[in-house]
Amino acid sequence: MLETSARLLALLGLLQSSAGWTGADLATRLDVSERTVRNDMTKLRELGYPVESVRGPGGRYRLGSGGKLPPLLLDDEEALAVAVGLRAATGITGVAETSARALGKLEQVLPDHLRRKLAAVVDAMDAGPVNTDSNVPDPDVDAGTLQALATAIRDHVGVRADYRDEPIEVEPYRLIAWQRRWYLVARDPRADAWLPLRVDWLRLKIPGGRPFRPSDPSFDLTEFVVREVARTGWAVHARLIIAASAEEVISRINPAVGTVEPIAPDRSVLVTGGDSLEVVAVWIGMLGLDFTVESPPELRDHLKILANRYAAAVDLPNLAR
């Protein structure tokens, strides 16, 4: 038979693992009498755990919501995964510091053998720069903003905000993290249009919008974000005429890079974008096809600079001097 403290922890673990247990089942699992189970339930309630019970022939015990946070009831792999995840938490203002505090508390309650495992993993780990495909720093997103949006999604309450300095009021549906950015998928009820909104460009207003009855989007929201970001979610947008069919262009790009429209059997339009002119220029070069820039003019100027730089790089006589 387990000692009282160990038995209470085991009992909490059982209550968390199932929606309900009979007293007889718990007594069998813990190798105690049903009377002991009833006494242990009383002790758990006195400690602040919301243990609920239903009397009668089908009576069961279950752990209700709320109350104090139970002791750590994770196996070794789960605890290690949580700790490593906390180590890696980045990209949301305030969360890095909070994660460090939570990790410190977690490390204090880990058993010695697991603390040594975690130390070995952390000592063996290193990380490259968070942003490796852009010369623009990853945006920080305030944790309070994410919480406010998540609450609005849950409660079906509209969001009022300034989006890139333009006032909007939308119906929020889903938060999606992609390419180290956070996006809010929302519906504009006035235009009856779905929008992928970058959360770091949102400035929420208080009070929020009106309650709404949610609609069925009838499409995959994550795929919608990936498809639409190239059109609406970049700091720099570009429109290019490509000397190839739409099918050829589509075969060479990731769907997240842009949208393609045919204009002739051997010509198409590519609408793409990026966080900077430099990033867009790199993507265009990787396409491997002839193209003409329609917009923006700043991209044409940047490509001229690159053309001169690359031409100078292969000027062998100059290199010899």
The CA-to-CA distance between both ends of the chain, in Å, stands at 87
Question: Is 132 part of a structural domain of the chain?
Answer: no
Q: Structural domain tally of the chain?
A: 4
Instruction: Tell me the mean pLDDT in the region 21-38.
Output: 90
* Per-residue confidence (pLDDT) for residue 219, from 0 to 100: 87
Task: Identify the CATH number of the domain in which residue 171 sits.
Answer: 2.30.30
Please write the tens of the pLDDT for every residue from 277-289: 998 999 899 999 9
What distance in Å separates the CA atoms of residue 318 and residue 155, rounded to the nearest whole number?
67
Same domain (yes/no): 81, 150: no
Q: Which two tokens stand for residue 195?
A: 């929008």
Same domain (yes/no): 29, 86: no
Please write the tens of the pLDDT for every residue from 118-129: 777 766 666 555
Please write the tens of the pLDDT for every residue from 132-151: 566 777 777 877 888 899 99
CA angle 291, 297, 299 (to 5 degrees): 60
Same domain (yes/no): 150, 205: yes
Helices (H), 76-215: 76-88, 95-109, 112-124, 143-155
Question: Which of 223, 255, 286 marks a domain boundary?
Answer: 223
Q: Which two tokens stand for residue 250?
A: 């589509």
What distance in Å separates the CA atoms of residue 11 and residue 34, rounded to the nearest whole number?
13
Question: Is 51 part of a structural domain of the chain?
Answer: yes
Question: Is 159 part of a structural domain of the chain?
Answer: yes
Which stretch of 37-51, 151-165, 182-196, 262-276 has the lowest confidence by average pLDDT?
37-51
Task: Identify the CATH number of the domain in which residue 295 sits.
Answer: 3.30.70.250
Question: Is 306 part of a structural domain of the chain?
Answer: yes
Q: Which domain holds residue 98?
A: 76-124
Residue 164 backbone zone (phi > 0: left; psi -120 to 50: alpha; other: beta): left
Same domain (yes/no): 207, 179: yes
Question: Is 93 part of a structural domain of the chain?
Answer: yes
* Per-residue confidence (pLDDT) for residue 210, from 0 to 100: 93
Please write the tens of the pLDDT for every residue from 190-229: 999 999 998 999 999 999 999 999 988 888 888 788 777 7
Same domain (yes/no): 115, 153: no
Which stretch of 101-110, 162-171, 246-255, 290-299 has the lowest confidence by average pLDDT?
101-110
Question: Is 13 part of a structural domain of the chain?
Answer: yes
What are the backbone dihedrals phi and psi of residue 186, each rounded to the nearest 5 degrees, phi first? -140, 160
* Per-residue confidence (pLDDT) for residue 151, from 0 to 100: 92
